[in-house]
Amino acid sequence: MNRCSGIRDIVPVVRRTIVDHGMISPGDTVVTAVSGGPDSVALLRILYLLSTDLRFSIIVAHVDHKLRPESAQDALFVKNVSEDLGLEVVTTEADVHSTASLRRRGLEEAGRRVRYGFFQEIVASRGANRIATAHHADDAIETFFLRLLTGAGTTGLAGIAPVRGNIVRPLIRCFREEILAFLEKEGISYRVDTTNLLTDTDRNFMRNAVIPLIGTRFPGFRKPLLRTLDLIEDDRRSLQGLISDLVNRGISRTPGETVIDVPVFQKAPSRVAGKALLEVLYSIPDSDERWTKAHVDGILRIIHGDNPSAQMDLPGGMVLAREYDRLRLFRGAPAAATDFHIEVSGEGRCQIQSLGIVLEFLVTQDKGTGIENAAAWAISCFDADVADFPLVLRPPRPGDRFHPQGFSGTRKLKKVLIDHKVPLRLRRRLPLLVKDDHILWIPRVRQSSFAAVTPRTKRILTVRIVDPGEVGNRSMSGVSLSKRFAPPA
């Protein structure tokens, strides 16, 4: 204990916190955020004291937000402190006012995004492992009350997690007066940001007005509240386990697109599904949107809704499009319909450039050729004397009707595509094989009864989708294009 009654020596407290939470491992390089204020200076000095024992190295990071006239002196102070300890220091300047205005954020939020973006850049460029910030127990309590008053759930009420990704908070179990006592005892100087003493922001109001008032009625409230935060954090970790499992089972990602498995999310508890969706939204590359419960609720309505082709516009140019059992999340407008008309005048290969599809047409006298594969999704066979050339490839049109093989009578093409769960995005771009007014084949979907192969068939027309690896191995012939495809949407 030091000379202040009830005030702990926080160096062993920080060491225990680091070890208990696995914050830093031997050989790690820790980017330490230092503003020059008492909390960050104490963090730097304590990590420096522990670095030899725990075998890690330190890089100091400082951001000059240009919000106060004395900010340049803060940067110089941090530089001098770091160099006195023999530590590498990386600094940057940021016009947070302009960033806040451009991104329509508050100053506090804009500054936070700038800082963490800079810290992550240092991690990437220096091969570092961790980012250490000076958040402490009083910060966690302030955050708890602020989020309580804005209707947060368990994740928010847990306050500031000791570890979040590669970000660690070694001071999270130390109180502000303990930090100040450590600095006084060691004779360590620091900078004072006088704006922190005001009540202009929500956090300053909570710190300088509300919490002191609570303390007058409940003098020892902070320590039991901190235990409560630990219990909430335990619950949060349990919930996070369920969320992570749902994300692993129900989310797949490809470049430029995130796909949500609708049945998997439909079966999940709504709270877990909502948290998982929020995690997915915040993981979108190159996005700094502030996602809210309203966005999540909108997505859940689509997941549990009856419209298998529902769509939703999201901030940042993101589009959410349901395709039956899949929910696609991507940036940009949905693919537009493609207008084309390709006349197939004989045997050979026909390349549909904008769709990336090649079809091969082959006429044979051998009835066995291709018949055994006629039901396959990529091949179809017809009576070549009924489905004689020329044939046409075109997209669906309003009013199209189709006579599915094995059914009596025709059905609306739209209904057939819906029954086969063909996504709206693909319906607009299907290359229908047509003879006069008869749709012969919906590639990858279904064949028509028209021109079906029978025992009386003398010649067979086999049409198949060519595997991409085969493209270019044979020339294309017998194909005339009366209208080229429009460029890909």
Last residue of a domain, one of 331, 349, 364: 331
User: Is residue 441 domain-shared with residue 388, that is, in the same domain?
Assistant: yes
Contact call for residues 347 and 391 (beta carbons, < 8 A): no
Per-residue pLDDT reduced to its tens digit, 239-293: 989 999 999 999 999 888 999 999 999 999 999 999 999 999 998 887 778 888 8
How many structural domains comprise the chain? 3
| Mean pLDDT on 436-458 | 91
In this structure, the answer to whether residues 407 and 367 fall within a common structural domain is: yes
Do 28 and 130 lie in one domain? The reply is yes
Q: Name the band, by pLDDT with cuts 50, 70 and 90, for residue 334.
A: low
User: Which range is most confident: 93-97, 152-156, 461-465, 470-474?
Assistant: 461-465
In terms of C-beta density within 10 A (0-12 exposed, 13-18 middle, 19 or more buried), how is residue 143 classed? Answer: buried
Same domain assignment for residues 263 and 127: no
Let me know whether 114 and 189 are in one domain.
Answer: yes
- CA angle in degrees (0–180, nearest 5) for 401-404-405: 150
The CATH number linked to 399 is 3.50.40.10
Question: Is residue 23 situated within a structural domain?
Answer: yes
pTM: 0.65
Same domain (yes/no): 327, 357: no
Task: Give yes or no for residue 372 having a pLDDT over 70.
Answer: no
Q: What angle (nearest 5°) sits at the alpha carbon of residue 373, between those of residues 370 and 378?
A: 100
Q: Higher pLDDT residue, 428 or 56?
A: 56
Question: Which carries the bigger pLDDT value, residue 272 or residue 1?
Answer: 272
Per DSSP, helices labelled H in 33-106 are 38-54, 71-84, 96-103
State the DSSP string of 359-403.
EEEEEES-TTTTGGGTTSTTEEEEETTTSPSPEEEE---TT-EE-
Which residue range is the domain that position 396 belongs to?
A: 341-483
CB-CB contact of 131 with 33 (8 Å)? yes
Q: Are residues 33 and 76 in the same domain?
A: yes
Residue 229 lies in a domain: no
CATH number reported for the structural domain that contains residue 175 in this entry: 3.40.50.620
| Structural domain contains residue 227 | no
CB-based contact 71:109 (threshold 8 Å): no
Residue 226 inside a domain? The answer is no
Q: In this predicted model, which residue has the larger pLDDT, 228 or 488? A: 228
Residue 489 inside a domain? The answer is: no
pLDDT at site 304? 96
Residues 296, 411, single domain; the answer is no
